[in-house]
Amino acid sequence: MAKIGNVWVFIEQEGGVIADVSLELLCKGRELAAELGVKTEAVLLGDKLEKCVPALYEYGADKVFLAEDPRLEPFTTLPYAKVIMDLIHEHKPNILLFGATLKGRELAPRVASEKLAGLTADCTSLRIDDFDDKVNKKSYTNKLMQIRPAFGGNIIATIVNTWDDPQMVTVREGVMKMDEPLKGRKGELVKVKVALTEAETVIKVIERVREDKDVDLKGAQVIVAGGYGVGSKDNFKLIYQLAEAIGGEVGASRAAVDAGWISHDHQVGQTGVTVRPKLYIACGISGSIQHRAGMTESKKIIAINTDPDAPIFAVSHYSIVGDLNAVIPQMIKAFKAKQ
C-alpha cells in the first residue's frame, strides 16, 4: 500500500496577520491528520513572515513551509500557484485545505487544474472514511469525505475525490471550530527557495480598493435574525430595533436575503455565515436544515414563530408561538425597562 501523504493547509495572511479561516483549518487539519496517522503541515507564502510561524505551530502545524520573497507580496495567483505546485511535486501531500475566501477561491482552482486533481468548493464539513465505488467496483480506504450544500442549498452532498492526490477542498470561514492555541508548541520550519521566472511575475497589483463589511456576525455575541416570516423589508426595522435594544447584530435567513430585504453579509446558514453567539434570537425563521446548520451551536436560542410545528423549535431553548409584530415590541419594552 502506498504511503499516505500529510495534510496541508494553505495559510492566508494580510500584512502579516493570519486569517481566522486558516487557523480554523489548522485545527481541522490536525484532527484529520491524527486519524490518518500523518502530520499537519502549513504552507505560508509572502514576504517577511517568519514572525507568523510560532502561531502556526500553536494551532496545530507540525511543519511550516515558509516561502519568503518580495515578488509574493501582495498576493497574485500565478506565482503563488507556481510555488505551491513545486512543493506538491516534491512532498506529495494527501490533503490540501484552502479557505473559501476571495484568495482561496482564486488560487485553489488554478492549483487543481495544474495538478489535474479534483477540487470541492465551499465545504461545510470534512471527515475521514472508507468509500466503496460500486460503479467502477473499487474500494478506497481513508478517503476525505467532502461535505457541502448542493442544488442551491436544498440538499447536502458528500463528495469523494478518487483522482490523484492531493484531495483538495475550499472550506467556508466559521464552519470549523477554532481550538485554543497550545502555547509554546514547537514544530519544524522549512524555508523554501522561490524559483520564479519573469513571465510568472508579470502581473502586478496597482491598487487595492477594500470595502469593509457593515456587520461582523462571526464575532457577535448576540444576534437577532429575521426570516421570510418578517413579512417585508419595512418590517425588518423591528429586527434592527430589537438588536439595538440588546446590543446585538442583525442576521437573516436565506429567504429574507433572496427577497432583497437585507444584504448577503447578514445571511446565516450553510450558504452564509456559521455563527456561535451566546444568544441567537430567530424571528420569523422556519428553520430549514441549511439555516439550522449555521446557528445550532449558539449557547442559547430563542425562536419566535406563528407556526407551532416550525422546525426551528426543534433546536431552540425557548420557543415563543406568536406574531413577531406583537412579540418583539414587548421584548424591546422589557429590555429597556430592565436597563
pLDDT in tens, 20-73: 999 999 999 999 999 999 999 999 999 999 999 999 999 999 999 999 999 998
Supply 81's cell numbers.
Answer: 500557484
The answer to which of 6-10, 174-178, 213-217, 332-336 has the lowest mean pLDDT is 213-217
Q: For residue range 84-116, what is the model confidence (pLDDT) as tens digits?
A: 999 999 999 999 999 999 999 999 999 999 999
Q: What span, in angstroms and rounded, lies between the C-alpha atoms of 316 and 335?
A: 20
Average pLDDT score over residue span 135-162: 87
Q: What is the helix, strand, coil percentage profile of the chain, to 5?
A: 30, 30, 40
Give the model's pLDDT for residue 172. 87
Give the chain's mean pLDDT: 93
Average pLDDT over residues 152-163: 83
CA distances from 324 to 200, 214, 235, 265, 314 (A): 57, 25, 10, 23, 18
| The predicted structure's pLDDT at residue 208 | 73
Candidates 3.40.50.620, 3.40.50.1220, 3.40.50.170, 3.30.450.20; CATH matching 222-338: 3.40.50.1220
Question: How many CA atoms lie within 13 Å of 72's alpha carbon, on the beta-carbon side?
Answer: 26
6: pLDDT strictly greater than 70:
yes
Q: Does domain 7-201 have CATH number 3.40.50.620?
A: yes
pLDDT of res. 145: 97
DSSP state of 313: G
Predicted model pTM: 0.79
R_g of the chain computed on alpha carbons: 22
Question: For the residues 130-141, what does the mean pLDDT come to?
Answer: 92
Q: What is the per-residue pLDDT across 232-263, written as a single tens digit (0 to 9) for each?
A: 999 999 999 999 999 999 999 999 999 999 99
**Residue 1 above 60 pLDDT?**
no
pLDDT of residue 289: 86
Helix, strand counts (H, E) of the chain: 8, 17
The reported pLDDT for the residue numbered 152 is 64
Query: What pLDDT is attached to residue 271?
Result: 78
Cβ(76)–Cβ(50) under 8 Å?
no
> Which of the residue ranges 15-19, 208-212, 308-312 would you say has the lowest mean pLDDT?
208-212
Number of Cβ within 10 Å of residue 111's Cβ equals 22
Using omega within 30 degrees of 0 as the cis cutoff, is the peptide bond preceding 74 cis?
yes
User: pLDDT by residue (tens digit) across 263-295?
Assistant: 999 999 977 888 999 999 999 999 998 899 889
3-state DSSP call for residue 42?
A: strand
* Comparison of pLDDT for 21 and 198, the residue scoring more: 21
Residue 218, pLDDT score: 85
**Fold match, 7-201 / 222-338:** yes
List the domain boundaries for the chain. Answer: 7-201, 222-338
pLDDT above 60 for 120 = yes
**Taking a C-beta distance cutoff of 8 angstroms, is the pair 93, 161 a contact?**
no
pLDDT at 153: 63
Q: How far is CA 180 from CA 23, 44, 59, 177, in A?
A: 10, 21, 7, 10
Q: What is the pLDDT of residue 62?
A: 98
CA gap 98, 84 in Å, rounded: 12
